[in-house]
Amino acid sequence: MNYIRIIFCCLIFIDISYGQIETDRVFPILNHVTSARMAAHGGYAIASIDHDINAVYSNPAFYNPENHFDLSFNHQFQFLQTGIGNVTLGKNIKWHDLSLHAGIQYANFGNIPGYDENGQPTTTLNANEYNFLAGMSFLLYENMRVGTNLKFLHSNLAEYTSNAMAFDIGFAYHIPESPSTIGFSIRNIGSQLTNYGNYREPMPLDVQASGSIRLKHLPLRLGVVAHHLQRWNLLYENPYDVEQSFAIDNQFAQPESKQYGLVDNFFRHLVFQAELAIGKSESFKLRLGYNHLMKRDLSVNGFRSLAGFSGGLGLRVYRFYFDYGLSVYHIAGLTHTLTLATDLSTYKRKQL
């Protein structure tokens, strides 16, 4: 058997933001960032029913019915030749404030040189994943929306392929007096249709609760997301981790003693977010995020790092929304995410 191929396939599909807790799950594309705004907010959508159509990947009830016909393009530039992105379209229907949305999400991991067990070059390997999504949301009762997503997934790891079906369900409640928004979603409920090998692997289930509030006298929205609520223990203990010194760029560091407790594990479930609107028309926005799980799992002991922190900005120019997100995963690198969105209903034909 080609052991080198198997090693490559395993390595490239360890999702960098959830690799420590989801290594036994398939289709990590379901946990990838889907917009620059999400990247700037720590990898999760802030609880808000506004212009962002991309929030439906986190909670299908977050789509704003006031946005009549949205189109969004997203791409995240990751390490080496990898790239992740999506194209999403949303349409509002007046009947019961029904909103429909659909999207195609892709993860392209580039070309990987293949070698056999003797180190001799073979064929070039390709690895990619696709998520075909369709969903809807509607007004359940005043200020309360409910939504769902249906997803068909396809994965190709060299000569290994797999298909799966999954769905999401989400709720969103808007409190106009605050103003604040509360959301709850259960994501990635499903199963493989065809397996890579002889046995079926679990999907990356994620139960989330989120909330945000916009300050009354300041155009600042503060949010928090609690993720993986179906699993309390998010601590990762590496059985091969030993107490020894190591060097990065000729700098030696001693590993810190691991003193994990209930408080640390509690905050691993949380992501903190902030969004500041600038200008009278609020056409420019600054965003920040902090993901404690990412900070703890991707920091290198003995070295200062901004792992877990993220930021970005948003700009509205005429009919277009431009967003940029910067995520710090590790001292070895970071990712950049770009979003271009517009409301197609504003493009009206001129009457002759």
Residue 171, token pair as written in the block: 């709720």
Contacts of 349 (CB under 8 A, 6+ apart): none
Q: How far is CA 136 from CA 139, 144, 339, in A?
A: 11, 14, 22
CATH 2.40.160, applies to 3-235+268-298 = yes
| Cβ contact 335:39 at 8 Å | yes
The count of other CB atoms within 10 Å of the CB of residue 301 is: 13
Q: How far is CA 169 from CA 91, 148, 241, 261, in A?
A: 19, 4, 38, 32
- Tokens 């080609």 belong to which residue? 2
The count of other CB atoms within 10 Å of the CB of residue 147 is: 23
Q: What is the pLDDT along the chain (352 residues), one digit of tens a residue?
A: 343 343 334 333 333 334 445 556 789 899 999 999 999 999 999 999 888 999 999 999 998 877 778 999 999 987 666 789 999 999 988 777 899 999 999 998 877 788 888 888 888 888 899 999 999 999 888 889 999 999 999 999 888 899 999 999 999 999 888 789 999 999 999 999 999 888 888 999 999 999 999 998 899 999 999 999 999 998 866 555 555 444 445 454 444 445 557 898 999 999 999 999 998 888 999 999 999 998 888 777 767 778 889 999 999 998 899 999 999 877 667 889 999 999 888 876 544 4
0.85 exceeded by pTM = no
Q: In the 8-state DSSP scheme, what is residue 227?
A: -
Residue 230, token pair as written in the block: 């179906």
Nearest to 114 by CA among 203, 218, 8, 193: 8
